[in-house]
Structure 1
Amino acid sequence: MKDLVRQKISINVDIMDLLNQQIKKEAHSSSAYLAMASWCDQNGLNYSAEFFYKQSEEEREHMLKIFKFINDNGGTAYSPEVKSVMHEFNSLQEIFEAALDQEIEITKSIHSIVFKARKVQDLSSEYFLQWFINEQMEEEQKMRRVLELFDLMGTDGIALKLIDERVKDI
């Protein structure tokens, strides 16, 4: 019966499986950003903490958007287990570098799913994922902007506080 149900869904089964993997990646990103927010809170970087709390929430929203898409199209979305979230960091710059790396990996993953959706002619999934492509460009750009501030201002003393204050406007 389970195989029969999988044949009658409107989403391609391979794409559904890839989207379930993407759910795990979005959940991991949400948890990683929460850990980054906590580190910033503990180190008196209030604007950066607020930024990462918001990023964590956005990643959870992305996860839920994919989750609902799968279920709305007759598939089965799976609640992810999150493992191996880093909680210790050496600097705010290291956090933003890790965040950029994370966003780049998410972008690559989304692109890979889009290419697979094209190959199997799952137009609904490809169309759905266009929103994520645009979102990922914005997310990467945010992280790069902050990292540019470190290049311009440095990482010590007052520069760190000024960067933290600028994060609220990014």
Structure 2
Amino acid sequence: MAVTAKKIQHKESQFEHLLQGQVKNEFTASQQYIAVAVWFDDSDLPQLASHFYKQALEERNHGMMIVQYLMDNGVKPHIPAIEQVRNDFSETRELVALALEQEREVTREIETLAKTARDEGNYIGEQFMQWFLKEQVEEVASMSTLLNVVDRSNGNLFDVETFLARESVGDEGADATAPKAAGGAL
């Protein structure tokens, strides 16, 4: 009698379940940043537009890092539909404040993921989340700085454009410690 190997069914942990949801969150954030960038682009503010186009790619890459992590750990990733994003804005401060709040929300999500991995004794998952925690400190700080600059500009958006051209806020270049993104980072 031939013995056939049974495929072991993987039961998704709470951490893995939350990671699947985070893919959706990252892709939604990416699309929201595209909407913000397009608003700035349409308003002839190329530095602000460029900044948010780059942010959109960064969020997309974060989602793809999670997808790669799931695949590397034998969990089938689910590529979700995203939430509706906001497209109607009236002024620059509103867009940057939305971006800052979005980064604060992502920080809370990443903290929950790290805590869940720790609570489940998933040391590999906890280690994976460390990079994202560090990244969120930088993301919140750069959006806070940008909002401060917008506030201090007193409506002179050319000052904000000049600041972004001079300082490259949030653009520290490639991070060699970043997790690999499925398909490669863009």
What TM-score does the superposition give when structure 1 sets the normalisation length?
A: 0.91
Partner of 2:3: none
How many Å separate the matches in 2 of 1:56 and 1:64? 13
User: Which of the two has greater helix per residue?
Assistant: 1
Partner of 2:161: 164
Instruction: Indicate the SS of the match to 2:9.
Output: helix
What is the one-letter code of the residue matched to 1:15? F
What is the one-letter code of the residue matched to 1:17? H
Q: Could you tell me how far 1:82 is from its partner in structure 2?
A: 1.3
Partner of 1:5: 9
Q: Could you tell me how far 1:44 is from its partner in structure 2?
A: 0.6
Quote the sequence identity (%).
32
For structure 1, the residue ranges without an aligned partner over 5 or more in a row are none
Q: Could you tell me how far 1:118 is from its partner in structure 2?
A: 0.8
What TM-score does the superposition give when structure 2 sets the normalisation length?
A: 0.83
Q: Could you tell me how far 1:51 is from its partner in structure 2?
A: 0.3
How do residues 15-34 of structure 1 correspond to structure 2 at under 5 angstroms? 15-34=15-34
How many Å separate the matches in 2 of 1:95 and 1:130? 28
Partner of 1:112: 112
- Contact persistence 2:93–2:151 (CA under 8 A): no
What is the one-letter code of the residue matched to 2:72? D
Instruction: Indicate the SS of the match to 2:121.
Output: coil
Instruction: Indicate the SS of the match to 1:86.
Output: coil
Instruction: Indicate the SS of the match to 1:108.
Output: helix
Indicate whether 1:151 and 2:151 are aligned: yes
For structure 2, the residue ranges without an aligned partner over 5 or more in a row are 1-6, 170-186
Q: C-alpha offsets along residues 101-141 of structure 1, whole Å, 9 cap, x if unaligned?
A: 00000000000011111111000000001000010110111
Q: CA RMSD in A?
A: 1.3
- Contact persistence 2:92–2:150 (CA under 8 A): no
How many Å separate the matches in 2 of 1:143 and 1:73? 33
Instruction: Indicate the SS of the match to 1:16.
Output: helix
How many Å separate the matches in 1 of 2:48 and 2:150? 13
How many Å separate the matches in 1 of 2:157 and 2:8? 58
What is the one-letter code of the residue matched to 1:162? D
Q: Could you tell me how far 1:5 is from its partner in structure 2?
A: 2.1
**Aligned positions, number:** 161
Partner of 1:138: 138
How many Å separate the matches in 1 of 2:115 and 2:83? 28
Structure 1 runs of 4+ off > 3 angstroms? none
Indicate whether 1:52 and 2:49 are aligned: no
- Contact persistence 1:37–1:52 (CA under 8 A): yes
What is the one-letter code of the residue matched to 1:66? I
- Contact persistence 1:6–1:13 (CA under 8 A): no
Partner of 2:127: 127
Partner of 1:100: 100
Q: Could you tell me how far 1:83 is from its partner in structure 2?
A: 2.5
